Amino acid sequence: MSLHRLIRPLSAAAVLLSSSVFAQEHDDSRAERIENLVVLGSRLPIPPAELPGSAQTLSSDDLRDAEAAFATDLLRTLPTTAISRSGGPGTLTQMRIRGSEADHVQVRIDGFKVNDPAIGSAYDFAHVRGPTVEAIELLPGPSGALWGSDAVAGAIHLRTPLIDGLELRAGIGSRRTREVTIGAGRLGDRGDVSIVADHYDTRGENISADRGDPDGDPDGYTITTVNLRGAVDLTPELRLSGTVRGFDASVEFDPAPAPDFVPADGDQESKIRRVLSGVHLDWSPDEAWQHRLTLEALGSRHKDFADGSATDLRAGRRFRASAQSAHTFAALLPGTQQVVVALEAEREHFRQRGMATAFGDPNQNQSLDHRSGLLEWRAHPDEAWHLMAAVRRDWNSDFANATTWRTGVRTNLPAELGSLWISYATAVKNPVFTERFGFTPDTFIGNPNLQPERSRGVEIGWTRAFLDERADLELVWHRARLEKEIDGFVFDPASGLFTARNRDRNSRREGVEARLTLRPDAATAVTARYAWLDATEPENDTQVRELRRPRHNAALSLTRDFLEARLRLRTDVVWTGKRDDLSFATFPATRLSLDDYVLIHAAATWQAGPRLELFLRGDNLGNERYQDVFGYATPGRQVHAGFRLRP
């Protein structure tokens, strides 16, 4: 489906909804209630004070104050994560949580899964524009019992904007960057509808060799995103909601030829398209029962070009359906309890096209069916105690079935000493198509005995507010083991071909995280975060540090209002410690260390009138020279300015 064919029905749906079912009045507190709930810690949204875990959130204020061009600009301020971007805007951007693999994070948008079957069920964070997201929630730790495969190290939820009226945002900046976002919506007593259209393009930089090479060829990036979100109360008990989101992107990049295998100037390009559509039908016949039926579809296409000619194509599709029922009751134990039962079905397709060579034929069509059932139980014996347990069973059509579970407890300590929690959980990552069939199936030995990768993790955390609620501190210790990790490049001496196998030894992760938030007055907020991580994997007879996982991460965010809140300043300082990577200029590859770096981002917004807001944003103000991935240069100092017209 092309993006322009998507825009027309989105616009028509927005007009229809806004003109037919919405009343003029609306409840402004609805968005605030959503903002204050955790959507990943349970199959139903819950208050943070009931969660036996450490959900981290980036609110709508965070995204708007930072004027972040991309969501990853703010995700870097969460030291739980390690961001690896292979060059400039639009290039492959991976995120690792607590030392995990890059494909061990499940990503959801408005409650719908968006991990891409075309890239190993991973998620490329490069294409999430900041203005198209209203809030972000991160739940670190194995979450497979709640959300299924891919949530091995955690899950992320992106909430798209709710708009009442008409908004226009536009800006220009360094590297011939232009961006414009148009949003329109209506909030009513019976429902809401919001549509956002966003376009961003930049000349980019030369990611090969040294940044700023006057003889280098810059690598540009263009993306157009359209997002429609809406909901309507069909009856007082029945609510229909849904999201349709699509983007079309063009990314220029450089090849990495032998013998150094680092980027060198060249004319290569990827054209990427992804469309998500999904609906929720919620039925609440009374306060004790809540039912939800969900249908969703995801389609993606990645097409690569070299010197203007198409070279290969990868496409993925996923169809999912789930039915869920939740019941709240008071029996057997003091207080209230809640039980959630859910059934899910999923089908994935993978298609790859390319030119056959002496190394093999990449052309293939693959599919996979998946079924699962889960049971979650939550109890609140009193206001101080919150307990939960969940178990899931996954049935796979082509490889081993799996059972995962999660349990946790949270309690308020006496004498106002804060809140303490502990959780223990497991999760799995299913083998992906390329691990089972390779990039060239005719020269790859498929392994029907592959088992899902499995993670086991424990977390202990404590948080306390002090200074009359003007400050709070959170400390977390976590430890995890990754078992049955899949090695997709195992040489088989008997055939002279490659295959995939589960490793016999485990990878280990352990770490400590700290967060301190200060609100000395109504105009100032300061948040400091730090994470220490020890992540290792087996190599021969020892354990070595995992690649691209820094041992130390830290961030400081400061927001300050001036002139009766007409001027707001936001500054983010992010420090990423040293981490290992590989140079493939030798065989076997040589392990090396990437230097630590500090990124300084700042934004200022000025309320110039009742509806007009001006903004100025600076990225990498220290003009730091750094690499997330060995050999790939990253953007230097950039400045952007623009305006926003708000309702």
Give residue limits of the domains in the chain.
Answer: 3-645
* pTM greater than the 0.85 cutoff: yes
Using the 8-state DSSP alphabet, how is residue 620 labeled? Answer: S
- Reply yes or no on domain 3-645 having CATH 3.30.230.10: no
Pick from 424, 417, 439: nearest CA to 479:
424
Pairing state of beta strands 309-329 and 289-306? antiparallel
Tally of CA atoms within 13 A in the half-sphere of 226 that contains its CB: 17
DSSP states along 560-607: EEETTTTEEEEEEEEEE--EEEEETTSSSPEEEEEPPEEEEEEEEEEE
- Kindly report, residue by residue over 93-147, the tens digit of the pLDDT: 999 999 999 999 999 999 999 999 999 999 999 999 999 999 999 999 999 999 9
Can you read off the two tokens belonging to residue 540? Answer: 């021969």
- Kindly report, residue by residue over 289-316, the tens digit of the pLDDT: 999 999 999 999 999 999 999 999 999 9
Q: What pLDDT does 1 receive? A: 41
Q: What pLDDT does 34 receive? A: 52
Q: Say if CB 185 and CB 165 are below 8 A apart.
A: yes
Pick from 46, 7, 403, 1: nearest CA to 184:
7
Return phi, psi of residue 17, to 5°.
-65, -45
What 3-state class would DSSP assign to 146?
helix
Classify residue 625 as exposed, middle or buried by CB count within 10 Å of its CB (0-12, 13-18, 19+). middle
The shares of helix, strand and coil residues in the chain, as percent rounded to the nearest 5, are 10, 55, 35
Q: What pLDDT does 210 receive? A: 56
Place of tokens 């083991």: 481
Q: What pLDDT does 213 receive? A: 56
SS3 readout for 291-351: EEEEEEEEEEEEEEEECCEEEEEEEEEEEEEEEEEEEEECCCCCCEEEEEEEEEEEEEEEE
Q: What pLDDT does 12 receive? A: 41
Q: What pLDDT does 486 receive? A: 94
Residues in the chain predicted with pLDDT less than 50, given as ranges, are 1-33, 212
Q: What pLDDT does 391 receive? A: 98
How far is CA 265 from its chain centroid? 31
Q: What pLDDT does 110 receive? A: 98
Q: State how far the Cα of 93 lies from the Cα of 107, in Å rounded to an integer.
A: 14
- What mean pLDDT, rounded, does the chain reach? 92
SS3 readout for 50-70: HCCCCCEEECHHHHHHHCCCE
Q: State how far the Cα of 433 lies from the Cα of 430, in Å rounded to an integer.
A: 10
- What are the beta bridge partners of residue 368? 348
